[in-house]
Chains A and B, each alone.
Chain A
Amino acid sequence: ETGVTQSPTHLIKTRGQQVTLRCSSQSGHNTVSWYQQALGQGPQFIFQYYREEENGRGNFPPRFSGLQFPNYSSELNVNALELDDSALYLCASSFGTRNTEAFFGQGTRLTVV
């Protein structure tokens, strides 16, 4: 167990709705990165938060947004859900931005119908 927890574990939403996913980072870690893993593919980097500021973003539209709180937990928000947003959403926590060792949570499985 990595100490990184995500909630909820599963979620079903309707196209056009909004969703918020949550991640609690491992104790002592101040960096959270979010990834989207479509079925049968490797994870794709969405964005990263370091000390409450966005620190880099992958090729995802603005309707994907996030927050990091003073306790370094994080939220991923997706607006105007599309069918293609159905995926496993993973968060990874690490210390700083130059440390290659990241610990992943178990993920949130989002299904958009």
Chain B
Amino acid sequence: TQLLEQSPQFLSIQEGENLTVYCNSSSVFSSLQWYRQEPGEGPVLLVTVVTGGEVKKLKRLTFQFGDARKDSSLHITAAQPGDTGLYLCAGSHTGTASKLTFGTGTRLQVTL
């Protein structure tokens, strides 16, 4: 059972467009992480957010943790073909930080 639902599941956009990916849960998480996974590779950590309402920026990527620590969003500005991949959110609970509950994933394709 997936406790973290991501939307949309698939997203195909052109270079230069903006997009937002959502990660929602009915559970409270002590921290939430975002990963990007490319075909044939393992997930690569992009960011960890731990405080309700926290916003973190990584170049063109902006991550936000919901105030109640049940949801998160990833916003990409001016998407580039190199942003193509599977984006996964993952939550963890206090005391079990390295046991991750992953979301359903959002597959992003950015074309020229």
Chain A interface residues (CB < 8 Å from chain B): 2, 4, 31, 33, 35, 40-45, 48, 56, 58-59, 90, 92, 94, 96-107, 109
Choose among B6, B97, B105 the residue with the greatest number of A CB atoms under 10 Å from its CB: B97
> Distance (Å) between the CB of B26 and the closest chain A CB?
16
A-B contact count (CB 8 A): 79
> Distance (Å) between the CB of B47 and the closest chain A CB?
11
Contacts of B40 in A (CB 8 A): 106-107, 109
> Distance (Å) between the CB of A109 and the closest chain B CB?
8
Q: What's the Cα separation between A56 and B97 when bound, in Å? A: 12
What 7 A-B pairs have minimum CB-CB distances, sorted nearest first? A104-B42, A42-B102, A100-B97, A94-B98, A98-B97, A43-B102, A42-B105
Chain B interface residues (CB < 8 Å from chain A): 1-2, 4, 6, 31, 33, 35, 40-45, 48, 50, 88, 90, 92, 95-105
> Distance (Å) between the CB of B54 and the closest chain A CB?
13
Cβ of A43 and Cβ of B88 under 8 Å apart?
yes
Cβ of B43 and Cβ of A90 under 8 Å apart?
yes
Name the one of A43, A48, A100 contacting B43, with C-beta atoms under 8 angstroms: A43
State the main secondary structure of chain A at its contact with B.
loop
Name the one of B6, B33, B102 contacting A100, with C-beta atoms under 8 angstroms: B33
